[in-house]
Structures are given as C-alpha cells and as structure tokens.
A and B are shown apart, each in its own frame.
Chain A
Amino acid sequence: MIQFFKVHKTYPGNIKALANVSFAIERGEFVFVTGPSGAGKTTLLKLIIRAERPDQGEILVNKRNLSRIKHSQIPQLRREVGFVFQDFKLLNNKTVYDNIALVLRAVGYNKKEIPKRARQVLKVVGLDERVLKQPPLKISGGEQQRVAIARALVNTPSIILADEPTGNLDPELTVEIMDLLEKVNKLGTTVVVATHNTDLVARYKKKTIPLYRGEMAA
C-alpha cells in the first residue's frame, strides 16, 4: 500500500530531512512512525501525500509512483488519504458541519447527501449531532480532534495519516483518540501515526518505523 525505496529528501540550506529510507506498509496495518523532533516524521507523511517531492528514491502509494504522477493526478491521490494534524487545523470561522461538508463539496459529493454523510461520520467518531452547529472553539480539545478525524474519514479514505494527533491533548484524551484510531483501523483503514511519545508506542504495540536524524534507526 505504501512503499518507500531509498528515499532521500533535503531541504534548502542543505538540511537533511530523510536519508535512504525504505519501508513497506501493508493494507490495513496500523503503523507508528517514531523519533524525536527533527527526525523526519512530518516530512515522511508529507511525501506520502505528495506535499513534498523526494530528491532521490521511489515512493508508491496505492500502486501510484509519486515520482511520476502528474500534477492533475495529485487531488485523486489525496482523496484516498485522510490527514489529521496535531493542532487539528479546523476552520474556526465555520461550524463543525461546515468543516466536514467542505471536504465533501471539494470532492464532488452530491449536495443532498452531504448532511447524511456528516451525521454518519460523527457517529463513527463518537460525537453527538449537536456539535454540528457549533464552531470548533466552542467544543473541547478532545472533541475538536474527533471532528478532525471525522473530517479525515468523511471521504472514506483507504489511508489515514496522523501527525502527532495527541500532542495537544491530556493523557486521558490521548487514550480516547488513540482508541478511536484503532477503531478506524479495525474498519479496514490503514493508519500511520507519527509520534515522539514513546509511552504511546509502548502501550499500543504496533508496527514501528523508527527514525533518527532522517535515517532509519535500528
């Protein structure tokens, strides 16, 4: 499903982000990408959605070679991948409903189906329909992250990428969100979580891709 072959990425100023990284993630797996800050975790996730291009190496996502896809094919790739951020990245000037509906409108959902789909995905993430009319800042941090996951799931992607999804949450909420991601994974979605939280990795015992200063750690 996701394959990296000797991938290198260097940012301007000769900043090495990734060097000679190779791994494979199968369909339906739950994988942690671990390492301290600056290890290259976020860069790795950005490469998967083609927000960055590798300087060397090949990346395959759902059998697409990202080095060769055209710019016009990138939207289609991204529709198969949901992204969850540490800081939620919800639009605070819109309601929860509008935050979710935005995705559905962007990918061409039928207008009449949008409300139904929004309610469905809220149920999956364990939120009440009442939050739909609220702006994100009026709900709790845990609820906001659930909304963010709902937004990532609403288009039924085959892959969910989460970049430090529990970084801004307390331990209790951290467990809630991780349990939710596990639930999503059990429904068949491949989940990749980037985290520097070693306790989390130890608790959930999933496959790990360890990074250190851009390289695969032992």
Chain B
Amino acid sequence: MKENGAAHFLSIGTIAISFFLFAAFLLLPLNFASLLEAWEKKVQIILYLKDGVGEQRIIQLTGELRKEEGVREVQYISQRAAKESFERDLAGYGGVLKGVKEEIFPASFEIQMDERFRTPERIRALAARLSTIQEADEVQYGGVWLERFSLFLYTLRWGAWILGGVLVVIVISVTANTVRLTLYNKKGEIEILKLVGATDAFVKLPFYFEGGLQGVLGAGSSILLLLCLFHFFSRKVAPYVSLYFGELSLSFLPPVMIAWILGIGVAAGLLGGLLSLRKAARI
C-alpha cells in the first residue's frame, strides 16, 4: 500500500464517503423514530366547542368522553382559561391582548390518549366520532402529519437499505479497481514470485488484505466523520431545534450497527480484491 499511496488514499476516501452516506441514512430514521415516539406521547385531540354550551352539558360531555375507549384523561378548557393560557404564551409581548374579550377564545376539551391507543388509525377514528357530537365545532389532532411522518420514516428506512446496496456495489468496484492497479504495478514482482515457487496464497493474500484493509479503513473513517458531525449537531444545533419541536433525545448508531458497517466494509473490500484477482487470470 505504501507504493500506491495516492490511489489507496483516493480509494479509501471514496469508500468513506459511500459508507458515510449509508450510515447517515441509517442514523436519520433511528433518531426520527425516537422523535416520533416522543411526539406520539404528546399527541392529544382537541375538541373545540360551539359557543353557548351550558355547564350541565359540559359535565355530561366530560363523563361521556372519559368513557370513550382509549381515553386516558379529559380536561375542559373554558374561554377564560384559554385566554389566560394565550396571555402566558405571549407574556413577553407586553399588553398585546389588552382589550381582547375572552368570548373570542373557544372553549375546548383536551383529550389525552392511552399509550396503546396512540396510533394514527385509532386517533383518526376517535376524532371522527367526536366530530359527530352536536356541540362540536372542530376536532383537531396531529394525526395526519404524524401518519405522513411515519410513512416518511418507513420510506427512509427502505431507502437506506437500497442506497446501502448500491453503495456496497460502489465500494466493491472501487476496491477492485485499486487492487487491479496494484496488481498492474506489481506485475514484475508477481511474475518472479510465481517463477520461484511462491504459492497462490502467498501471492494473493496481500491483495485480499489490501482490499479488506481499504474497506475497514473507509468504513471506519465514515463512522468517525459521522460521529464528529453528530456531536456537533447534538451540541450546537439540537438545542435550537428543541425550542421548536420539543426536547430531542438523540442517539448515535448502536455498537452492533457500527460493527455491521465495519464488517460490510471488510467484506466488500475482500470481495473487491477477489474479483480483481480472478480477472487477472494469469495470477
């Protein structure tokens, strides 16, 4: 590898970029999944009421809602409570709500679901039932975009594996080409080795080793690079993201996955070496 430094450096660099993309694609759904889980826990249905619903009916509705399957908690928010909550949210904006009457704020029920029932399908079904209530003005839930997000994650996971497959082919090809270049440069040496009685293993093993080493160095470099970017993101970017999307609990690739990536790197490199040697038929 010393003699062909530039070619090997380029090869390892290309492998590193390939595995970086693959590992990044694995990391995204991993963290998005935990984010999705955190968001799902906060999912609630808000049933906005029409104006003029009496106190008795509110008590009755509270009881009915609590009896619904999958409902863990029901909280009534009066018009006054809604205004006060809004005022708290806009505390830093001075008297922007001065003079605003509480009647413009709709009363609502905030409905928390049981964990087992926080699936998009069940949330949607409950929301559909609630919208049939006579006093219901509007039913809101984050289900639609959560469902889409869930689908996006599913697509991302599949995309990661397909991309991974393509990248592995690239890695094999890059390694095979670099090994072939080394083979060409060492043609004279190999000829002598074969003439003096070196076994096939003695001649070929260094090339397999070269291929495997390129693979593991490339894969290892990609993990290190990804780790650095992950740390940067966790420390510098994630706190700002949390302001808008809630607390982010980020995690890097688990050790098992890292071991798999390194293993695939070695295997792809070895395979590249093997394919290259097979093509050089006289070796």
Contacts and interface: CB of A to CB of B under 8 A. Distances in A.
Interface in A152-185: 155
A120 B180 CA distance: 37
B5 interface: no
Contact of A75 (B189, B192, B198): B198
A107 B195 CA distance: 11
A89 interface: yes
Q: Chain B at the A interface: mostly helix, strand, loop or mixed?
A: helix
Contact of B199 (A49, A75, A93, A151): A75
Most buried by B among A75, A89, A107: A75
B192 A155 contact: no
Nearest to A93: B3
B189 A103 contact: no
Interface residues of B, number: 14
B197 A91 contact: no
Interface string B70-100: 0000000000000000000000000000000
Contacts of A151: 196
Nearest to B188: A91
Contact of B202 (A76, A89, A106, A155): A106
Nearest to B203: A106
A16 interface: no
B197 A89 contact: no
Contacts of B189: 91, 102
A106 B197 contact: yes
A151 B193 CA distance: 11
A102 B192 contact: yes
Nearest to A79: B197
Nearest to A154: B196
Contact of A83 (B193, B195, B198): B195
22 contacts: A51-B195, A71-B200, A72-B199, A75-B197, A75-B198, A75-B199, A75-B200, A78-B195, A78-B196, A79-B196, A79-B197, A82-B196, A83-B195, A83-B196, A91-B192, A102-B189, A102-B192, A102-B196, A103-B196, A106-B202, A107-B198, A151-B196
Interface of B: 3, 188-189, 191-200, 202
